[in-house]
Structures are given as C-alpha cells and as structure tokens.
C-alpha cells in the first residue's frame, strides 16, 4: 500500500475507533476489520463479512479523503466522510447483532436514526462526473456507470435490492455524450 493510502487507512482506523467509543460503546471488533481504500466514485463505502462473521473488510472511497469528504450531509450530524464510515460501522454492528435483518431494512434504518445519521445513502451528493454508460430498467429507473457491465446480466437494485431479478433487468440505453444524452 502506498504512503498516501497508508495515511488514509490510518485516518479511517482512528476515526472508526473514536466512533466505536462514542456511538457503539466499544462493542465493535475493530481489530477484526481490515480497512482498505477504494478507487470507486459511485459506491463510497462497503463492508463484507467472512462466513462466520468474525472478520470484515471495509472499503471507503479515496475521494473522501479530500475536500469532498468534509461536505455536510442533509439530515445528518456528520460530514460525508464520517457519514460513510458510520454507515459501514452500523453494518458491522448489524452483522453481529442482527444478522438475519436485511442490510438496509428497519433495524438498520432505526439504528442510523438513533446515531443521528441518514438512514439511507446520500443520493443528493454528486462527487464525480456522470457515468459514461446509461442503463434503464422496465420501471424507468436509470443507472449510469463508468464501465459497461459486459456480458453479466444485472437487474435494478431499486426495484429488487436482494438479488438478480429478470423482471427488472437493466438494459443498455447507450453511451452518454458530452451533451448529456445517450447515443
């Protein structure tokens, strides 16, 4: 890991430890969480657990280490960087305390509200240039991506967030031009 990445990871770990003390009563097993920087520009954070939920890998977008991370988030007491980190820490708590609950279900939303964070992702935050490829589901939801999906079939996560559903399959509309439309 390069030096800037190491500094970013150290910062994330320090912030997570402070949040663990203040918000979670030191209940989170942060020694078992591996923090990694992510190059993603759309998904600002993610956390995955191993099969027995004893170890976790948390990824946080590198772009949050800059000034974008300091931006306020509507409906939250946290800035964007901390909002993403707290969101992922609540997922770690959920893996341990409520493993049978859906990832962004009622338990998760209530816990986020109790902490003072937004109970859902930040759809109003625009950090990067729009994606290059436009996809649309049968319900009309649009998804832009920097890269094409390729041969893999994917469905709209807004219509069915749990798994691939052929009734909500995303179809490529086209490449987005500089004028903002699809070709």
Q: Give CA separation, 15 vs 36, 64, 118, 134, 183, in Å.
A: 14, 13, 18, 36, 44
Under a CB-based contact definition with an 8 Å cutoff, are residues 17 and 35 in contact? no
- In this prediction, residue 34 carries a pLDDT of 96
Task: Please give the Cα distance from 79 to 70 (Å, whole number).
Answer: 5
- Report the 10 Å Cβ neighbour count for 112: 19
pTM above 0.95, yes or no: no
Locate tokens 């974008």: which residue? 68
- In this prediction, residue 63 carries a pLDDT of 83
Q: Which CATH architecture has domain 3-115?
A: 2-Layer Sandwich (3.30)
**Portions of the chain given CATH number 3.30.2010:** 3-115
pLDDT per residue, tens digit, the chain (183 aa), is 557 789 999 999 999 999 999 999 999 999 999 999 988 777 889 999 999 999 999 999 888 888 878 888 888 899 999 999 999 999 999 999 999 999 899 999 999 999 999 887 655 455 554 567 889 999 999 888 878 888 888 999 889 888 899 999 999 998 876 544 555
- In this prediction, residue 129 carries a pLDDT of 47
């Amino acid at each position: 890991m390069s030096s800037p990445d190491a500094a970013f990871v150290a910062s994330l770990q320090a912030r997570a430890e402070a949040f663990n003390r203040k918000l979670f009563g030191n209940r989170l097993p942060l020694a078992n969480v591996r923090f990694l920087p992510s190059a993603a520009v759309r998904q600002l954070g993610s956390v995955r657990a191993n099969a027995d939920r004893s170890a976790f890998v948390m990824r946080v977008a590198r772009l949050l280490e800059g000034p974008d991370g300091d931006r306020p988030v509507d409906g939250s007491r946290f800035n964007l960087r901390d909002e993403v980190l707290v969101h992922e820490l609540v997922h770690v708590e959920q893996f341990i305390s409520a493993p049978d609950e859906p990832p962004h279900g009622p338990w998760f939303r209530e816990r986020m509200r109790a902490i003072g964070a937004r109970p859902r992702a930040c759809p109003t935050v625009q950090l990067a240039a729009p994606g290059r490829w436009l996809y649309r589901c049968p319900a009309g939801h649009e998804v832009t991506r920097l890269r094409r999906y390729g041969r893999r079939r994917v469905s709209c996560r807004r219509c069915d967030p749990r798994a691939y559903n052929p009734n909500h399959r995303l179809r490529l509309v086209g490449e987005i031009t500089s004028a903002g439309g699809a070709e």
